[in-house]
Structures are given as C-alpha cells and as structure tokens.
C-alpha cells in the first residue's frame, strides 16, 4: 500500500481583529523550545511571515494520517496562542493584508525578481505526497492524473475572499498562485527523461531560483520518492484534507495501474486543463465543472461522482471506499470551505466574524475525535 504524506500551510492571525500577523518567527521559536524539551515538531516558515507550514510523516492508513493532521493543527494553535496569535485553515485572508515576506537570502531573491507577484502570495495550499517506486512510474502517474486535478481543486476550494472583498471565486488562491511562471498544468511528458529535461530547461532560463520553484500542479518531489500533488487549497476542516489525501492516493494507484498496463494518457492540451482549473476555481462545488473525460461542462455533483468511479477499484483495494463515499456525500451536502465562509458572512455580516469562526473551527476540528476512518 502506498504511503501518503500531507503538507499544510496555515494562516497566522490576530485573535482579536482577525487580521494576518507576521508571527512565524516567534511561533517557530516556541516550537523549537518544545522540541528541545522532547516534543518533536515539523513546522517551517513560508514565503510570508503570516504563514506556518507543517508536514505529516508518511502514513499508509488514513486513520493515522487524519489523526496526525489534527495533531499538528492543534500544536500550531497552541504555539500561535503562546505567541499572541491564532491559526486559521484559510487559503486566503478574508481581511486586507500587507506584504510581510520572511527573512532569508532565497526569499529576498524571490521578492527582488518577482515584485508584486511575490508580495501578494499570502496564499495557503495543501500538498499531498504519494509514494512511487521510480521516476518512470511517477511520470506515468503525472501524465495520467492531469485531467482530474481540477476536481480536487473544486473539492478543496477555501478562498472566496481577497483583500476584504468577495473575489467571485471559490478558490481565488489558485488564481493568485497561477501568476508564478512555472505554476499550473503541464503537458504529457511520456518519460522521466523528458520530465527532467524540462525541469533543467526551466532552471536554465534563470527565471526560477531553484528546483523548489517548479510549481507544477503535480510534480516529482525533489526530496522524497513521491509524486507531489499541489492543486488543492488548504481545507477548512482536517477531515476534508484527509479526504483529499485519500482520493489523491486513489488517483495515483489508478494511474500507475494504467501506466503498467500500457494505457495511454488522455491527450488534453494544457489550454483545456487551464480552462478546467479556472472553472473549478470559479465554481467550486456550486456550479458546473469541466468533466475530465469529455472536457465539456457538467454539474459539479456528476463530476465528483465520476472521480469516485474512476478511483473506485483503488479505494476498495486500500480499504478506503466507504470513507471516501461518506466524505464526498458530506462535502456535497454541507459544502467546501468557500461555501462555509460565504454562509458565515451572510449570517454575521462581518469578515472579522468569518475569520473568528474559522479560527474556532480550525482549533475545534483539530482537537475533536473524528469518526474512525479505515486503515
């Protein structure tokens, strides 16, 4: 069974005003102090000081993965509180935020070279790593999961607000993130050699600082023997993150089987994939999506069910099918983070209250015992 790991970026905010606060240095110092006292941590800084990132360990059981996501969210909340802040699992700040880029030579280079693009990247994503046996298998997977990544984006969409306004999108994070020159969908590579050649060619342009700036929607990890799927917003609820991870492993398993069996990948062009991603970022689960098989509009619920059908055998083999069915049914019924945030705004009339409610939801969800997911 393939192992899965998750990286989540969380927003650091003022607990009274809800505005983003550049507290990552203080929070990391507190985490380091805990570590010296024998408490392990996996927190790191991100491009902006108003963000905090953590990474889970590789897990084969979804129950264990979900528990670890909740654990790190809870510890992030504790550290932030000690630093005078709070954490919220929000992919963009609903309230206006100014740039507060983190210190470091690499971050200074990015700021100097990318200007406003770097300054406006206060966005939080969710990255899912799934193990592969080789780069060849990994590229075979990347070639075959391309059409389905927009569905993961729609499920995870959790960034409707930007600089104090409704953006009109369910995932405005993905629109802001798409400003990086290497971000977004990519063509079919066909082999690991062609994949690595494209990475070398991109680095050879001098536009990117290093391989860490290969921001494809899905890529080979430069650190681990995994494919890293980077399409999703950070999810408001930890249970949604676990669901995204479950579906991502199902996609990788399904694509790897197709690659072994010699089934060719769909040849959808990058333009079509960009259109599908735009549609997902605009609609979330509340309107039509682009169906990955036909590349034509279809109701979101039908497209979500098509994803489930596509990975059903892999989910069943991993013991994840019932959990995925239940999670998708719940998400379609109650809505993703974007829908929840807009409902909160309609009820309270205040973006500050939206942030406060999301802080509470992040913390309560981190500490709640979720219904058991299968191992």
For residue range 52-108, what is the model confidence (pLDDT) as tens digits? 999 999 999 999 999 999 999 999 999 999 999 999 999 999 999 998 999 999 999
- Dist CA 39 CA 350 (whole Å): 38
- Contact between 86 and 14 (Cβ < 8 Å): yes
Distance CA(315)–CA(252), nearest Å, equals 11
367 has pLDDT over 90: no
Cα distances from 256 to residues 112, 152, 187, 217, 292, in angstroms, run 40, 18, 18, 18, 18
> Is it the case that residue 371 has pLDDT exceeding 80?
no
Domain span at 119 = 4-367
- pLDDT of amino acid 369: 46
List the CATH number of the domain containing 46: 3.30.590.20
Q: How confident is the model at residue 38 (pLDDT cuts 50, 70, 90)?
A: low
Domain-embedded: residue 83: yes
Q: How does DSSP classify residue 212?
A: G
What pTM does this model have? 0.96
Confidence check: pLDDT of 374 > 60: no
Looking at residue 364, its pLDDT comes to: 85
Q: Give residue-wise pLDDT tens across range 220-259.
A: 999 999 999 999 999 999 999 999 999 999 999 999 999 9
Q: Kindly report the CA angle at 305 between 301 and 311, in degrees rounded to 5?
A: 150
Q: Does residue 257 fall inside a structural domain?
A: yes
Domain membership of residue 104 (yes or no) is yes
The pLDDT value given to residue 64: 97
Q: Which helix (H) or strand (E) holds 130?
A: strand 125-131
pLDDT score, position 37 = 66
Residues composing the chain: 375
The pLDDT value recorded for residue 57 is 96
Q: What is the pLDDT of residue 34?
A: 79
Partnered with residue 166 across adjacent β-strands are 161
In this structure, is residue 335 part of a structural domain? Answer: yes
CA–CA gap between residue 89 and residue 355 (Å, rounded): 10
Res 373: pLDDT: 41
Residues facing 11 on adjacent strands = 51, 88
Q: How many domains does the chain have?
A: 1
Which of residues 6 and 38 earns the better pLDDT score?
6
Of 95-99, 201-205, 289-293, 304-308, the least confident: 95-99
Tell me the H-state helices in 11-61.
24-36
Residue 372 lies in a domain: no
Position 256 in a domain: yes
**Is residue 288 in some structural domain?**
yes
- Strand locations in 212-292 (E): 218-220, 226-233, 288-290
Q: Per residue in 149-174, pLDDT tens?
A: 999 999 999 999 999 999 999 999 99
Would you put residue 252 in left (φ > 0), alpha (ψ -120 to 50) or beta? alpha
**Is residue 373 one of the residues assigned to a domain?**
no
Average pLDDT, the chain: 95
Average of per-residue pLDDT across 3-23: 98
């Amino acid at each position: 069974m393939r192992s899965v790991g998750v990286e989540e970026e969380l927003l650091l905010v003022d607990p009274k005003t809800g505005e983003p606060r550049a507290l990552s240095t203080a929070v990391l110092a507190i985490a380091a102090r805990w570590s010296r006292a024998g408490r392990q941590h996996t927190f790191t800084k991100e491009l902006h000081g108003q963000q905090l990132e953590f990474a889970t360990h590789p897990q084969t059981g979804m129950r264990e993965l979900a528990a670890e996501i909740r654990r790190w969210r809870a510890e992030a909340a504790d550290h932030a509180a000690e630093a005078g802040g709070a954490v919220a699992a929000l992919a963009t700040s609903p309230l206006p935020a100014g740039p507060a880029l983190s210190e470091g030579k690499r971050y200074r280079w990015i700021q100097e070279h990318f200007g406003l693009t770097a300054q406006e990247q206060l966005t939080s994503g969710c990255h899912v790593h799934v193990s592969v046996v080789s780069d060849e298998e990994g590229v075979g997977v990347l070639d075959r999961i391309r059409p389905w990544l927009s569905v993961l984006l729609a499920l995870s969409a959790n960034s409707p607000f930007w600089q104090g306004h409704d953006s009109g999108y369910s995932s405005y994070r993905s629109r802001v993130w798409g400003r990086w020159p290497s971000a977004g969908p990519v063509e079919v590579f066909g082999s690991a050699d062609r994949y690595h050649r494209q990475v070398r060619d991109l680095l050879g342009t001098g536009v990117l600082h290093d391989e860490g700036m290969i921001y494809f929607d899905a890529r080979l990890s430069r650190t681990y023997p995994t494919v890293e799927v980077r399409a999703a917003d950070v999810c408001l609820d930890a249970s949604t993150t676990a669901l995204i991870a479950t579906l991502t492993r199902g996609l990788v398993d399904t694509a790897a089987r197709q690659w072994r069996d010699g089934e060719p990948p769909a040849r959808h062009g990058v333009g079509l994939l960009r259109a599908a991603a735009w549609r997902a970022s605009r609609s979330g689960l509340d309107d039509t999506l682009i169906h990955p098989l036909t590349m034509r509009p279809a109701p979101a619920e039908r497209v979500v069910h098509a994803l489930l059908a596509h990975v059903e055998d892999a989910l069943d083999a991993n013991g994840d099918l019932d959990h995925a069915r239940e999670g998708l049914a719940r998400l379609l019924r109650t809505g993703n983070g974007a829908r929840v945030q807009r409902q909160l705004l309609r009820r309270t009339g205040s973006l500050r209250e939206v942030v406060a409610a999301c802080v509470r939801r992040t913390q309560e969800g981190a500490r709640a015992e979720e219904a058991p997911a299968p191992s």
